[in-house]
Amino acid sequence: MEPREAFATADELAQRLAGTGYLADDSLATVAWLALRLERPLLLEGEPGTGKTALAEAVAAALDVPLIRLQCYEGIDSTQALYDWDFPRQILHLRAVEAVAGDGRRDVAAVEDELFDQRCLLARPVLRALRESPAVLLVDEVDRADDEFEAFLLEVLSTWQVTIPELGTVSAATPPVVVLTSNRTRELHDALKRRCLYHWIDHPGLRRELEIVHTRIPGVSETLAAQVVSAVQRLRSDHDLIKPPGVAETLDWARALQELGASELDLETAAASLGVAVKYREDAERVRAALERILA
């Protein structure tokens, strides 16, 4: 089924996402649903660990289509995002032709055509997404890539097609669902933002986070989940931490405590397992000093 038509309302999408273990609140479900309906890329920003990447995975699961992930990094260029020619393979092909037809009777143009054939094409994530669409294309941490790469993405995201000079134009029958995530290490270009629907994901509230813990870690005890979530919420709100723990850290912490066999979060176990939730030495010191108050 086409992604555009898959869900009649935002509520339906939210339910299906919940079915895959992702609890989207009303706002996120609406925006994600609009992205599907209007066939627009969805730009998600927010603190690390608030579930930006997980949303793309959940949407792919809910639509039952493949998830194609493009991790951005400094210096990424179109040969890593789009396509590349398999040079060794082309050379191998030439040598093979030499060996087989040594008398030179073969048509030169035909051999050249064979070199730039689908066989020698290495499809990278964006091209794969266009070819395999319907699919979900996750462009992760786009803020890490350079400006030039943004301009290149812009071209693909607005036309949904890619031109390979030797092969012709590849266009998607149905545009893939595109999710871009950014940690705001730098401001994205306006032109790219304009193509996208924008949503800022906040840390979830106490209730919602508790639900998330129960959904993601089925065996966790009621008291442990409540204690971990309220401790994390307190860390986020009243301590000036360099990196406040995200939902991912909450889940890791609860899982770690479960593995340790703790039925509730006391001073000792909290101090021992703090490294799962707090990842800076300065933060750890600050939290350790105030641990009693946080757990109270």
Partner 1 sequence: MSTAPAHAADEVLLAFARAVRAAGVAVTADRERTWLEAAAAVDVGDQARTYWAGRATLCASPSDLERFDQVYAAWFGRQRATASSRRPSAPTVSVASLDASGEASGERDPEAVRAQANSAEVLRHRDVASLGPHERAHLATMFAQLKPRSPRRPAHRHTAAPRGLVDARRTLRGQLRRMGEPGPIQWRRRGTCPRRVVLLVDVSGSMSAYADSLLRLSHAFTATGQPVEVFTLGTRLTHVTRALHQRDAERALAACGDAVPDWAGGTRLAEGVRAFLDRWGRRGMARGAVVVVFSDGWERDSPMALGEQMRRLRALAHRVVWVNPHRGKPGYEPVQQGIVAALPHVDHFVAGHSMAAFEELVEVVGRA
User: Where on the chain is the footprint of partner 1 (CB under 8 A)?
Assistant: 10, 26-27, 30-31, 33-35, 37-38, 40, 45-47, 87-88, 91-92, 95, 184-187, 190, 193-194, 197-200, 202-203, 242, 280, 282
For the CB of residue 37, give the shortest distance to partner 1 in the complex, in Å: 5
Give me the phi and psi of 41, to 5 degrees please. -65, 150
For the CB of residue 137, give the shortest distance to partner 1 in the complex, in Å: 19
For the CB of residue 191, give the shortest distance to partner 1 in the complex, in Å: 10
Q: Which is nearer to partner 1, 118 or 185 (CB)?
A: 185
Classify the phi-psi angles of 104: left when phi > 0, otherwise alpha if psi is within -120 to 50, otherwise beta.
left
Q: What is d(CA 24, CA 62) in angstroms, rounded to the nearest whole number?
A: 12
Q: Which is nearer to partner 1, 193 or 255 (CB)?
A: 193
Classify the phi-psi angles of 75: left when phi > 0, otherwise alpha if psi is within -120 to 50, otherwise beta.
left
Q: What is d(CA 271, CA 253) in angstroms, rounded to the nearest whole number?
A: 12
For the CB of residue 263, give the shortest distance to partner 1 in the complex, in Å: 31
Sign of CA dihedral 48, 49, 51, 54: positive
> Helix crossing, 125-132 with 147-159: angle to 10°?
10
Residues 8-12: contacts with CB under 8 Å, at least 24 apart: 9/33, 10/34
Dihedral angle, C-alpha 24, 135, 182, 195, nearest 10 ° = -100
For the CB of residue 52, give the shortest distance to partner 1 in the complex, in Å: 13
Q: Which is nearer to partner 1, 190 or 259 (CB)?
A: 190
For the CB of residue 197, give the shortest distance to partner 1 in the complex, in Å: 4
Q: Which is nearer to partner 1, 37 or 214 (CB)?
A: 37
Tokens, residue 194: 């304009």
Q: Using the structure block, give the residue that is written with the tokens 């129960």.
A: 214
Tokens, residue 23: 């609890």
Q: Which is nearer to partner 1, 40 or 255 (CB)?
A: 40
For the CB of residue 167, give the shortest distance to partner 1 in the complex, in Å: 21
Residue 120 is classified by DSSP as G
Q: Which is nearer to partner 1, 187 or 222 (CB)?
A: 187
Which of 131, 128, 150 lies closest to 68 in space, CA to CA? 128
Distance, C-alpha 62 to centroid of its chain? 15
For the CB of residue 129, give the shortest distance to partner 1 in the complex, in Å: 22
Beta pairing class for 197-201 and 177-182? unpaired
Counted residue by residue, the chain has a size of 296
Q: Which is nearer to partner 1, 75 or 263 (CB)?
A: 75
Q: Which is nearer to partner 1, 184 or 293 (CB)?
A: 184
